[in-house]
Amino acid sequence: MALVRAAMLDTPTAPHVLSVPPDSATSTESASGNPVEPEARRWPASEASKELCAALFCALTAIAATWPLTANFTSLLGGDAGDPLQTLWSWRVLHDALHALQSPFTTDRVYFPHGASLVFMTFDLPTAILTLPLWHVLSPVGVWNAGVLFAFWLTAFGAYRLVRELTGDRGVALCAGLVFTAVPYHFAHAAGHMHLLAMGWVPLYLVHLHRMLEGRARRADPILGGLFLSLATLASFYHLLYAIVLTPVLFAHAALRHRQSFISARFVRQALALAAVVLSMAGPLAFAVLHERGLEPIAGAHDAITFSGDLQSFFIPNLIQRLQPTFGEVARRWTGNRAEIALYAGYTLLVGALLAALLLRGRAGTRARTYLAMAAVGAVLALGPSLHVGGKLFDEIELPYALLTKLLPQIEFMGVPVRLGYVMYLGLVVAASLGIARLRERLARRPALRWVALLIPTAILLIEYAPRPFTLTRLTTPAPMLTWAESDETFAVLDLSGHYRMMWHGLLHQKPMTGGNLTRVPARLEDWYRALPIVKGLSAGQRRPESALTRVDTAIDFDWGKGSPDPSVPTDHFSAQWQGTLDVPASGRWRFFLASDDGAHLSIDGRSVVNNGGTHVMRERRGEVDLSQGKHAIEVRYAERTGSAGIRLDWEGPDVARSRLTAPFVTSDDGLAGFAARFFRDRKRCALSRDAGRAWLREIGVRYVVTDATGDDCLTDELGLAIEWAADGVVIHRLDDA
């Protein structure tokens, strides 16, 4: 408790205490860094109440930033149906293992019966442990959302504590926490990367490192610094990497400005104490990761070239921001994905940080330049091993990240250099905050202008950073899986519903699964799973069209949405063919417009006119062809995979404005007005016999096979599995004992 009280109250013990504005907290220095006589010491209770108010402000920031998450706290998941399901599954495994007094880092719930190590999982252990009690009072969705809100609170509070430590200005510090919470990096990972979402541990570590380097540390500071660095490491090894990049820059600053305290036996003792805390708390997991990596090849590492920052991305808003409609076409050229290209610095923040570094003098100026240097280091490293500009790779230009991987080979296993944008944002926020704090100090006798100098830049920056609406996802809960969780029977589940969805199902039923979707996994387990005859037999099966419906359509103009053309046709994995005779009223150049979701193709007289093939959302393609007056054979083919479905055919030509191509311009071979339409269901045929497939399921202990809503025809038609459940987006197939 003494350590916690010391961290919250932050009572200075340096020989000189510097003056601060009336609305600022007591600090060891002002924004300018000029020492003055000590002011009257405040009562700790008063200081604690102000810190509690600051913590409450950060909580309101978290609620506002993630809205409407709080309004849907127990019904919608804060994030997408991807990585959150994987992480939430690991939280449940952690909860169950600790409840049973077992190790949470090995489990047989995946890759059964072998089991797998979880030392590579992105648990975000601090958040996972903090949410442990909530499993008894909240649904899994509520547990996850509590973790999201905590991560956002921690981000705001961590930045607040660091800026308050460096400026003594509580108002600037609160706005810094608000801005650091709003940076695009944060919202890019809010959709699913919980381990990257808790951005506040590193700033809290830097608070105590500053005190140690500047010779004003209390006895608790090395312990607290080690604690926060340990929590950062246990949240994600990326946070440890950020600290490794930031710490040498601060060491260089201390060597220039605080040489006497930096090069001292006292600092060495403090540094050793900090390191001892980190080694005792985070060391075992780090050593376990290194040990298991050395034992065998591990699959799942990202490609650093793909997940590198683009030079354009620092200056152009990305796909995670509200400005995406304006700049989206540029951002889509960058490599990586939407969650990994968030490097937009923001012109307001960039100008503020540069002005602070150029114009400030004394200690504040040195600090501003130090943090700007941190930002520059983070930005350069985020570009990855080779230069990307506008989506083009210039691999002949090797960048500093390539050297960093040689110095620290283990980071090559992480493989997402663009995430070092975190260091850039932290550096820019702190540097700009130092400048605003100094400006407010100059305006001490003009209170209104002091607030204007703070609030206007903050508001402009929040508008500049404004993210797209917070992602919320509704998850279904198949009832049989909840029944399995209550059963003491031991059986395995082969889940083919999707890599991430299977982890959500695993959380619900808490039974072993044949496969798995882990952050990193030994390659031998992946090879074993893919080589299983039952898995190979199901995946090697082919879909063959089977006639389901024949009719005449007067026009090709359909929007089936999530449905299908007819109850006899499935909602996914179906195809269609329209044939007829086209009666062209006049010779000349004719244009055809074919829109479809998914693929479609138009041919006339056997010649391809429009190719709109592939798997895609509704889109239109056009084609032109010279046609003579009279009759021509016309054919349209269509294939639907999953999701929404629809198709539309227009035409345009001499004396005919663009319109639907309808009867009487088209007749069927039977002379009926319109197209002769045939619809096919795609039936799955697997490469296993009934007896062999059922035997292999029994061999690996599988009682249930789960697929997505489209099902798998070969499981029922060829292997003879009964359908136990077909709702909530899944089909559950049961293998009878007989």
The token duo for 203 is 């700033």
572 closest CA partner among 713, 440, 446: 713
Non-local (6+) Cβ contacts of 427 within 8 A are 353, 371, 372, 373, 374, 375, 376, 377, 378
Interval 22-76: pLDDT, tens? 333 334 444 444 433 333 334 466 888 999 999 999 999 999 999 999 999 999 9
List the single range of 7-21, 117-131, 601-615 with lowest mean pLDDT: 7-21
**How do beta strands 730-734 and 722-727 pair?**
antiparallel
Rounded Cα gap, residues 701 and 113, in angstroms: 8
Rounded Cα gap, residues 509 and 487, in angstroms: 9
pLDDT bin (cut points 50, 70, 90) of residue 615 is confident
Rounded Cα gap, residues 690 and 79, in angstroms: 41
Mean of pLDDT values over 526-535: 90
Rounded Cα gap, residues 335 and 491, in angstroms: 42
Rounded Cα gap, residues 147 and 391, in angstroms: 35
Rounded Cα gap, residues 313 and 389, in angstroms: 9
Handedness of CA 708, 709, 712, 717 (dihedral sign): positive
- Which one is predicted more confidently, 492 or 9? 492
Non-local (6+) Cβ contacts of 219 within 8 A are none
pLDDT at 15 over 70: no
pLDDT for residue 738: 55
Interval 619-654: pLDDT, tens? 899 999 999 999 999 999 999 888 889 999 999 999
Interval 543-573: pLDDT, tens? 677 788 999 999 999 999 888 898 888 888 8
pLDDT for residue 546: 79
- Decide: helix, strand or coil at residue 195: helix
**b/e sequence 190-226, b meaning 16+ C-beta within 10 Å:** bbbbbbbbbbbbbbbbbbbbbbbbbbbbbebbbbbbb
Q: What's the DSSP call for residue 101?
A: T
- Strand (E) positions, 449-598? 472-473, 492-495, 521-522, 542-553, 557-561, 574-584, 588-597
Cα-atom radius of gyration of the chain, to the nearest Å? 31
pLDDT at 158 over 70: yes
Percentage above 70 pLDDT, the chain = 93
For 36, phi and psi rounded to 5 degrees? -135, 180
- Decide: helix, strand or coil at residue 475: coil
Measure Cα distances from 497 to 392, 403, 506, 570, 677 in Å: 36, 42, 11, 17, 32
3-state helix, strand, coil in the chain (%, to 5): 50, 20, 30
Interval 411-454: pLDDT, tens? 888 889 999 999 999 999 999 999 999 999 999 899 899 999 99
pLDDT for residue 8: 38
Cβ proximity of 214 and 363 under 8 Å: no
210 closest CA partner among 246, 160, 264: 246
Cβ proximity of 603 and 635 under 8 Å: yes
Measure Cα distances from 63 to 150, 156, 222 in Å: 10, 11, 32
Instruction: Tell me which H or E stretch contains 612.
Output: strand 607-612
Cβ proximity of 317 and 327 under 8 Å: yes
Q: What angle do CA 692, 510, 286 make, to 5 degrees?
A: 105
Mean of pLDDT values over 105-128: 94
Look over the chain and give the mean of its residue pLDDT values, rounded to a whole number.
89
Rounded Cα gap, residues 234 and 201, in angstroms: 10
Q: Is 655 exposed, middle or buried (0-12, 13-18, 19+ CB in 10 A)?
A: exposed
Neighbours of 490 (CB within 10 A): 11
Interval 672-696: pLDDT, tens? 999 999 999 877 677 778 888 899 9
- Decide: helix, strand or coil at residue 495: strand
pLDDT bin (cut points 50, 70, 90) of residue 13 is very low
pLDDT for residue 643: 81
Instruction: Identify the structural domains of the chain with CATH numbers, from first to last.
Output: 302-442 (no CATH), 481-541+693-734 (no CATH), 543-685 (2.60.120.1560)
340 closest CA partner among 313, 365, 373: 313
pLDDT for residue 476: 94
pLDDT at 7 over 70: no
**How do beta strands 542-553 and 607-612 pair?**
unpaired
Neighbours of 407 (CB within 10 A): 8
The token duo for 300 is 């799942």
pLDDT for residue 9: 41
**How do beta strands 645-653 and 656-660 pair?**
antiparallel
For 582, phi and psi rounded to 5 degrees? -95, 125
